[in-house]
Amino acid sequence: MPDPHIESEALADQRVIDLLRSHVAGDVLGDAGSRGEYARDASPYRQMPMAVVRPRHRDAVVALLQIASEHRLPLIPRAAGTSLAGQCVGSGIVVDMGAYQQRIIEFDPVSRRIKVEPGIVRDALNRHLASHRLQFAPDPSTTDRCQVGGMIGNNAWGLHAVSSGTTREHVQALELVLADGTIMNAAAVDAAGLGVVRSRDDREGRLYDAVIEPIDRHAAAIRSGYPSMRGIASNSGYALDALLRGQPWHVQGACFNLARLICGSEGTLAIVTAATLGLVEIPVAVRVCCLHFAGVTHALHTVPAILETGPAALELLDRAILRAAETHADHRGSSFWLRGDPGAVLLVEYAGASPDELEVRIRHLLRMHAPRTATVVGAGDIERVWALRRAALKMLMQAEGGLRAFTGIEDAAVPVDELADYYSEVQALLAARGLAHYAYGPVGMGSLHVRPEAGKGREYAPAEFESLLDSVAAIAVRHGGSFSCKHGDGRMRGKYLEAVLGSESLAAMRQVKTAFDPTGILNPGKILDCPPLTGDLLLQAPR
C-alpha cells in the first residue's frame, strides 16, 4: 500500500507549486527530473528540493518572498551552483536567480561603475568591458560560469586577491529583497545619514539599528575573534568585522554599507536582485615568473619574502597537480613553461605600467630566491598558465558517482609565515591516515588547498570524513587561522564557527540573522544552525 504520509507530503508540495505558479512570473518546476538537477552543487552534498523557481524579474522575487514569508516556505537562493560547501543544497524551494536575470542595467565607464542583474556570468561581464580596458576584478577559478550573484553570496575571490581583494571590496551597492518581500537598497551611508536612518520607525530603520547594536555590544570580541582582524583571509560567518572597521566605530573609516555584510552571507539574509560594482583598469604590462622548487615546504618558506615584492598573484601547484595536467586531455601542453619534474612551483605574477618595470622586479625576485629553475612567461601566453591553475579543481573532480579528491579541509588560511608549519602538520595527519593528497592554491593569501585523494574503490564513512575535518580545523585554529577563507561555510563548516570566531561573535551573528530573517526562511541550515555535517553526503570513491 502507498505510504499515506508520503502521499500527503506530495499533495502539500503540489499545492505550494500551484500557489507559486499563480503568483510568481517565471518558471515553477516540480517534476522529479528538474528537481534532481538542482539537488546538488559542487559540494559532496545531495538533497532533493521541494520545487525550483526561476523568477523572471525583481517583482517576481518580491511575490515569491511574500508567499514564502506568509507560508513559512524555506528558500534556497542559487546562482551557478559552483559552491563547495553545500550552500545551494536543501529540501526547500531552490530559487535560480541566473536563468533570466542577466542584464546590464547601467554602465558608466568614466566613473568605472556598472549595475547588473545577479545572473550575469563574470566572464561575460568582462567581455563587455574589455573594449573600455576595464574589468570586474575578482576572478575565481570558475570565472567562465560563476555568476555575480553567487560571487556576492560567497564573497568570492580568485587568483588576484592578493592585489585586488575580494568581491566585497568591489561591490558599491546592492538592491535587496528582504525575507518579507520588502525592497531595500544597501549602499554607503555616512555618519549623519546613519543617524537619520536609525531614527526611522520602519523596516529599514529597525534593521540598521538591529545590525549596529550587536556589533556595538560585542565589538571587543569581534576584534579579537575574527581572523581577518589579524590580517588573515577569512569568509567565516557574517562580515561583522568588515563593518566594524568603518563608521560609526571609526570616524575616518569607510561609510557604513550593509552591502559589505551581504557579501559572504550565502543567501541567508536577503536575495540580491541588482548589484552596482566598481571596476578597475586592465593592466598595461603583465609577466608571470614560474619558480621551481624541490618540494612544497621549500616553496612555502619563500612566500613571505615574495609578498614583499608586491605581486599581483601568487599561487602554488604541487607535483601531483602538475603530473595530473600532463595526462589530462584538456590540458596537455598547458605546462609548456615547466622544466623537469619539480616538487612544487610558485606562479608569481607582476603587473605594471611597462615591461621594463616588470623586468626589474623579476630580476630582483630571482636574485632573492635563486630557485632551482625559473621561467618567465610573457603576455601572450599568461592566460595558458592561469588556465592550468584554474583547471586544478576541475581535474580533481570526478563525474557523478564519486570524487577523485575530496573537498572539505582545503579552505583553511593561516599567517603566511606559518604556512610551512601548517602544511607539515596536515601532511603528517593525512599520512597517518594513509591518504595521499594534492596541494595547490592561493598561498599569497595564506591558504593552501590540500585535497585528500580518494583511493579507487574505497568507501569513506561519514564519521571518518567528519573526523578529518575536525582535526584540520583544530590545526588551523591552533595557528590562529580560519577554516573558511574562500569557499564559505555552507552546511559543511558552520560547525566550526564558534571555535574560529568565539561564542560572543556567534551570538552577534545570530542577532543579525534574526533581524534580517525573523522566520528563518532564507537558506536555513547554512552558516548558522546547520544540520549534521555528515547528513546527505555522497562520499563514494570511484571504482
pLDDT at 371: 66
Q: Which residue ranges form the domains of the chain, and what is each CATH number?
A: 4-96 (3.30.43.10), 104-281 (3.30.465.10), 285-394 (3.30.70.2190)
Q: Which of 335, 370, 344 is nearest to 292 (CA)?
A: 344
Residue 253 DSSP class: S
User: What is each CA distance from 427 to 251, 292, 381, in whole angstroms?
Assistant: 45, 20, 33
pLDDT at 4: 36
Please report, to the nearest 10 degrees, the dihedral formed by the alpha carbons of residues 144, 149, 153, 156 taken in order: 30
Q: What pairing do the DSSP bridges indicate for beta strands 437-441 and 313-318?
A: antiparallel
pLDDT at 76: 98
Q: What type of residue is 47?
A: Q
CA separation for the pair 399, 292 (Å, rounded): 32
Sign of the CA dihedral with 422 first, then 423, 426, and 429 last: negative
pLDDT at 370: 65
The answer to pTM > 0.75 is yes
pLDDT at 373: 86
The secondary structure of the chain in percent helix, strand, coil, rounded to multiples of 5, reads 40, 20, 40
pLDDT tens for the chain, 543 residues long, are 344 334 445 546 889 999 999 999 999 999 999 999 999 999 999 999 999 999 999 999 999 999 999 999 999 999 999 999 999 999 999 999 999 999 999 999 999 999 999 999 999 999 999 999 999 999 998 999 999 999 999 999 999 999 999 999 999 999 999 999 999 999 999 988 999 999 999 999 999 999 999 999 999 999 999 999 999 999 999 999 999 999 999 999 999 999 999 999 999 999 999 999 999 999 999 999 999 999 999 999 999 999 999 999 999 999 988 888 777 666 666 788 889 999 999 999 999 989 999 999 998 888 876 667 889 988 888 888 888 888 776 777 653 334 478 889 999 999 999 999 999 999 999 999 999 999 999 999 999 999 998 766 566 788 999 999 999 999 999 999 999 999 999 999 999 999 999 999 999 999 999 999 999 999 999 999 999 999 999 875 443
pLDDT at 7: 42
Q: How close are the terminal C-alpha atoms of the chain, in Å?
A: 37
Alpha helix ranges (H) inside 247-290: 259-262
pLDDT at 3: 44
Q: Work out the angle at residue 523's Cα, subtended by the Cα atoms of residues 396 and 187, and round it to the nearest 5 degrees.
A: 100
Paired with 426 in beta bridges are: none
Sign of the CA dihedral with 474 first, then 492, 537, and 449 last: negative
Contacts of 217 (CB under 8 A, 6+ apart): 508
Contacts of 255 (CB under 8 A, 6+ apart): 188, 189, 190, 191, 246, 247
Alpha helix ranges (H) inside 201-256: 203-217, 219-225, 240-244
pLDDT at 483: 97
pLDDT at 10: 58
Alpha helix ranges (H) inside 264-349: 296-307, 319-327
Q: For residue 192, give the 3-state DSSP assignment.
A: helix
Phi, psi at 523, each rounded to 5°:
45, 55
Q: Is 403 left (phi over 0), alpha (psi -120 to 50) or beta?
A: beta
